Amino acid sequence: MSVVLQRIYDESEPLGGNRVLVDGIWPRGISKEKAKVDEWMKEIAPSKELRQWFDHDPEKYEEFKDYYKEQIDNSKERKQQLNQLKEMAQNERLVLLFGAKNEEYNHAVVLKQLIENDE
């Protein structure tokens, strides 16, 4: 199983594999052509309220992770998309694309952990 994270604004060469954007909003200033996205799973992103509350504050990260996992557990659609991501990761490299500036504290990191740990 291979799951990697890549910031969609990263200037380097797009990583190969199954490229899935996991943000709820399309990244500003990025064309669909430049993004080279295979799939956009916007429903798996945290709710707008949770995202705004968290605001990528490292001090809130552990609490954010718990709330976000709860949102996934309590949403049939989010659970289905998580299962799809797990299946994708079994067959080829899965590239989780996100727009957040903070590459260490964001929802894509949580998704990667959920996929790899199969929680």
**pLDDT attached to residue 118:** 61
Write phi, then psi, for 31 (nearest 5 degrees).
-80, 155
Strand-by-strand arrangement of the 18-21 sheet: 3-7, 94-98, 18-21, 39-40
- Read off the pTM: 0.91
Task: Compute mean pLDDT per 10 residues along the chain, 119 residues long, and list them.
Answer: 90 82 94 90 96 94 97 96 95 93 95 85
Q: Supply the angle between the helices 76-91 and 61-73 in degrees, to the nearest 10.
A: 100
Q: Give Cα 29 distance to the centre of its chain.
A: 19
Domain locations along the chain? 3-117
**pLDDT attached to residue 119:** 44
Is 15:93 a contact under the CB 8 Å cutoff? yes
